[in-house]
Structure 1
Amino acid sequence: MRARHGRQSWKRIGSIAVLAALTWAPAHAGTPTAFAPLQRADLVLYRGATLIDGTGAPARPRMDVLVAGERILSVFPDAARPAEAAKAKVVDLHGQYLMPGLIDSHVHLATPPNRRQAEAMLRRDLYGGVTAVRDMADDLRALGDIARASRVGEIAGPDVYYAALMAGPDFFTDPRTAHTSAGGVPGQVPWMQAVTDQTDLPLAVARAAGTSATAIKLYADLDPNLAGRITTEAHRQHLLVWSHATLYPAKPSEVVAAGVDAISHACLLVREPDPDVPRWSRPRHPVDLAAFRAGDNPALARLFAVMAKRGVILDATVWTYGAAPPTGASSTPPLTPGGCDDIVGGAITGQAYRAGVQISAGTDNVAPWTEPWPDLFHELSELVDRAGMPPAAALRSATLVGARAAGQERDMGSLEPGKLANMVVLSKNPLSSIDNLKTVVMTVKRGRVFMGDDFVPLREEDITDF
């Protein structure tokens, strides 16, 4: 086993036998579920931690969390333990910090499909405290199997919630759509559909829902009217709608007016002041980025007021627009080369945050294979350093807001009775510095413990460019 560089050792376990019972155990022959969640009969008491519960409440010292199988049974002060806690296995967390599992709101695990790469990325995420991810449209044939394998415990990884994509016909000249539709015709497969005013939308949405998608993703070549019609039908069929902030020609305010639940990419908001946004296939004029650098753009102020009122989430992806993306990074959303970067994206995100818009933390990028920590840590640092968000707000973007973005607030995002036992134990306080996330001691996902020191880094051959 190789520990992450700089990772703190686990010093206050209390009982090695307890942790061994909660971590990996050989599965019965024919049932490859080494990482499956625990059963409800398994009571575990996580005792004495400083609790950051994700609800916005201040950190509370000497708190206990009682877990039954994969769910939280109760949360209480250590001095007020109920009688049922006496039957539980005890994990001593005195001197440690306990917070909700993290959520990455923007990943791509199968563009093109590469199962070994996806599993390596998910493993790095899980051992770094990420217990769920929102995949923003890929080859759902491959992704669905990855999501299933993680959910039932065949592989070590976060839960995966994903979108089926809809866009206008012009988008499907993008070579990535051929990669994600191999064996079919781009724009004519259930997980990536070309739509027009003549499309039978109830049927198209039903086809997308049949992939087990959580949402429809609107990508490009869509006008405001069609974006609104798709959104209305998706909601009628109980799917969320996640959208690029600009759909070429629909501009951000028109996308929000269409009723979507979340929009992606702060840098795509630079089109909001434009009187006319070109269609996807037309040339795009340069944007005067100076109008956004101060974080006080009037057009965006009007947009953010509406987003805050309606609860539309901004999946900012500031990190992916960094001026010098790391080697091995994935492709970024379409912008003019030399255009918007993480400085401008950070200023826009900061303006949105100050206006009361809910910000979720998504990456849309892949760090080099040599990095031992989740990609999400880069985005959280950008939210603090570029957008000026306090560490507490950045953490909320990767917990409760991330759960809302994925449509999973009922089950995750905070440590409350009835929710999944998705938790992270840290040796240092992340509210003092976002860098203290790099002191992950262990991750608990659906009641199953993953010790940080058991992490084996990604291998170079497992990570290739998307």
Structure 2
Amino acid sequence: MIKSAALAVFALLSAAAAQAEPYVLYKDAILIDGTGAPPKGPATILVKGERIERVWFGNELAFKLPPDSKVVDATGLYVLPGLINSHEHLATPPNRPFAEAQLKRDLYGGVTGQRDMADDLRQVADLARASRVGEIPAPDIHYAALMAGPDFFKDPRTHAVSAGATPGRTPWMQAIDARTDLRTAVTLARGTSASAIKVYADLPGARVKAIVAEAHRQGIPVWAHAAVFPAKPSEVIASGADALSHVCMLAYEVSDPVPGAYHDRAPVDEARLGQGDNPVIGKLLGQMKAKGTVLDATLFVYEGLDRRAAANPKAKPYCTLAVAARLTDQARRAGVTISAGTDGFSPPEDPYPGLYQELDLLVKTAGFTPLQAIQAATEGGAKSITRDPDFGTIAPGKLANLMFTAKDPSADIGALRTVVLTVKRGVAYPRSDYDPKADLAARKED
């Protein structure tokens, strides 16, 4: 009797809290909804609490708002979904001030979501919690627990993210071999509250397939490198992994021989790609489209490799930006869902997120229109995280993750740099509140 009474009181309190959530009306902006549809407006977005309740155009809908509602005049502004960086590393090695400074810059630059692609999850989990409850200004963080073959754990990075424990024997980074009980391994990974399992390196195709099958059986997605060595791209795609990172790794399908281990990679054999669209790559892309596999292209990485090679000609990169852009263009034309990830940060003195540079590269080198680039950083980014996202586009019922700009980014992707307001889960973060110089020292990596 006492229990049922307590439940009734809880239900009443929850209903009262829901009623108390104020309405916020963002009025008369030009809407870019993240689906690739052209801008439309003026549009009005009604937000209640952390979700979008209604979207309408002109005078299509009129009703009386409660007296405590807030109306934000967005006339002359452009509104798009909050951006999503589908490839970040916030804690390799852990450095809390550095991570918080990067996250703050991202949020005030319109980034409301990130995929953290395996780090020291002891820190990342707490960053995710602090962001979610509003202790720090930061995007929502969706993070992965990593699985790789035992040989990978010779990598010094795995020691940095496992301090105090044995590399390869932590729930957030596990060495997998033929003796591993995958049911237990996936359960341990899920226990970190990870959004997904990342399949990284030094695993044969059959083991990648087994990991994916068990992860899906337990209801958790799998994010993987496009080649896991010795597992080829075709084997990773066939395994059913939900999202693949690093477009150039697809080229290893036509390289000879395919590297046998992550740390023994020769550069991709560009000559074997030939001219124009490569038919072998085309077959892989067709399979990805059919399966709904998302491609996290990371052109930002390959631009960085080109810069390092220019500074040190002896350091030949495993792939160039030109090849990466060509493969990404082929993937786009094949209808593969592409997300926008950086796997790195813009320079400390840059007041804007590195994600802007990834979008610039998609437009300037890979044939994307600005609208397609925006879609990669919104709807595509959301799908890289989960198959059925409640964020990434602007529609009733979705999270109120919004970015307002003074100029039209669908005409010029550089207009993202005119951001004036970010809204994450209904909470407003005006750009005018952000001082990038205040966190400059913290953004410098050790």
Task: Decide whether aligned partners of structure 1 residues 287 and 69 sit closer, same or farther in structure 2, where only a CA change above 3 A counts.
Answer: closer
Secondary structure of the equivalent of 1:461? coil
| Contact 2:202–2:261 (8 Å) recurs in 1 | yes
Secondary structure of the equivalent of 1:414? coil
- Residue 131 of structure 1: aligned partner: 112
Greater CA drift, 116-125 or 46-55: 46-55
- 1:110 aligns to 2:91 (yes or no): yes
Q: 1:145 aligns with which of 107, 110, 126?
A: 126
| Contact 1:318–1:379 (8 Å) recurs in 2 | yes
| Contact 1:133–1:159 (8 Å) recurs in 2 | yes
- 1:58 aligns to 2:38 (yes or no): yes
- Residue 395 of structure 1: aligned partner: 374
| Contact 1:39–1:70 (8 Å) recurs in 2 | no
How far apart, in 2, do the equivalents of 1:460 and 1:98 lie? 28
Give RMSD over aligned pairs: 1.9
Secondary structure of the equivalent of 1:369? coil
- 1:46 aligns to 2:26 (yes or no): yes
- 1:98 aligns to 2:76 (yes or no): no
Give CA deviations for 1:323-379 in whole Å, capped at 9, x if unaligned. Answer: 56779xxxxxxxx83331222111111111111111100000112110000110010
Task: Decide whether aligned partners of structure 1 residues 265 and 137 sit closer, same or farther in structure 2, where only a CA change above 3 A counts.
Answer: same
- 1:67 aligns to 2:47 (yes or no): yes
How far apart, in 1, do the equivalents of 2:19 and 2:102 lie? 27
Q: How does 1:22-33 map to 2 (within 5 A)?
A: none
| Contact 2:345–2:353 (8 Å) recurs in 1 | no
Task: Decide whether aligned partners of structure 1 residues 173 and 447 sit closer, same or farther in structure 2, where only a CA change above 3 A counts.
Answer: same
Task: Decide whether aligned partners of structure 1 residues 86 and 214 sit closer, same or farther in structure 2, where only a CA change above 3 A counts.
Answer: same
| Contact 2:98–2:445 (8 Å) recurs in 1 | no
Q: 2:336 aligns with which of 325, 339, 357?
A: 357
CA shift, 1:55, in A, is 2.7
Give CA deviations for 1:266-315 in whole Å, capped at 9, x if unaligned. Answer: 12122011365232167444433244485511210111111111111100
- The one-letter amino acid paired with 1:352 is A
- The one-letter amino acid paired with 2:335 is G
- Residue 325 of structure 2: aligned partner: 346
For structure 2, the residue ranges without an aligned partner over 5 or more in a row are 1-17, 309-314
How far apart, in 2, do the equivalents of 1:435 and 1:41 lie? 35
- 1:416 aligns to 2:404 (yes or no): no
Q: How does 1:376-395 map to 2 (within 5 A)?
A: 376-395=355-374
| Contact 2:84–2:112 (8 Å) recurs in 1 | yes
CA shift, 1:131, in A, is 0.3
Structure 1-normalised TM-score? 0.87
Give CA deviations for 1:394-448 in whole Å, capped at 9, x if unaligned. Answer: 1101001111111174320111111111001111111101101111010001111
CA shift, 1:128, in A, is 0.5
CA shift, 1:465, in A, is 3.5
Task: Decide whether aligned partners of structure 1 residues 295 and 122 sit closer, same or farther in structure 2, where only a CA change above 3 A counts.
Answer: farther
- 1:77 aligns to 2:41 (yes or no): no
- The one-letter amino acid paired with 1:229 is A
Task: Decide whether aligned partners of structure 1 residues 286 and 94 sit closer, same or farther in structure 2, where only a CA change above 3 A counts.
Answer: closer
- Residue 182 of structure 2: aligned partner: 201
- Residue 14 of structure 1: aligned partner: none
| Contact 1:172–1:187 (8 Å) recurs in 2 | yes
Task: Decide whether aligned partners of structure 1 residues 91 and 284 sit closer, same or farther in structure 2, where only a CA change above 3 A counts.
Answer: closer
CA shift, 1:57, in A, is 2.8
CA shift, 1:221, in A, is 0.5
How far apart, in 1, do the equivalents of 2:266 and 2:274 lie? 19
- Residue 21 of structure 1: aligned partner: none
- The one-letter amino acid paired with 1:445 is K
Task: Decide whether aligned partners of structure 1 residues 250 and 418 sit closer, same or farther in structure 2, where only a CA change above 3 A counts.
Answer: same
Task: Decide whether aligned partners of structure 1 residues 117 and 270 sit closer, same or farther in structure 2, where only a CA change above 3 A counts.
Answer: same
- The one-letter amino acid paired with 2:51 is R
- 1:254 aligns to 2:235 (yes or no): yes
| Contact 1:326–1:367 (8 Å) recurs in 2 | no
CA shift, 1:449, in A, is 0.6
CA shift, 1:39, in A, is 8.6
Task: Decide whether aligned partners of structure 1 residues 292 and 323 sit closer, same or farther in structure 2, where only a CA change above 3 A counts.
Answer: farther
- Residue 163 of structure 2: aligned partner: 182
| Contact 1:40–1:68 (8 Å) recurs in 2 | no
Q: 1:278 aligns with which of 235, 259, 278?
A: 259
Task: Decide whether aligned partners of structure 1 residues 248 and 324 sit closer, same or farther in structure 2, where only a CA change above 3 A counts.
Answer: closer
Secondary structure of the equivalent of 2:162? coil
Structure 2-normalised TM-score? 0.91
How far apart, in 2, do the equivalents of 1:103 and 1:354 lie? 22
Q: Return the structure number with greater relative CO, CA threshold 8 A, min gap 6.
A: 1
Secondary structure of the equivalent of 2:415? helix
Task: Decide whether aligned partners of structure 1 residues 147 and 305 sit closer, same or farther in structure 2, where only a CA change above 3 A counts.
Answer: same
Q: 2:423 aligns with which of 419, 424, 444?
A: 444
Q: 2:198 aligns with which of 206, 214, 217?
A: 217
Task: Decide whether aligned partners of structure 1 residues 386 and 154 sit closer, same or farther in structure 2, where only a CA change above 3 A counts.
Answer: same
- Residue 228 of structure 1: aligned partner: 209
| Contact 1:67–1:74 (8 Å) recurs in 2 | yes
| Contact 2:401–2:426 (8 Å) recurs in 1 | yes
| Contact 2:306–2:320 (8 Å) recurs in 1 | no
CA shift, 1:59, in A, is 1.3
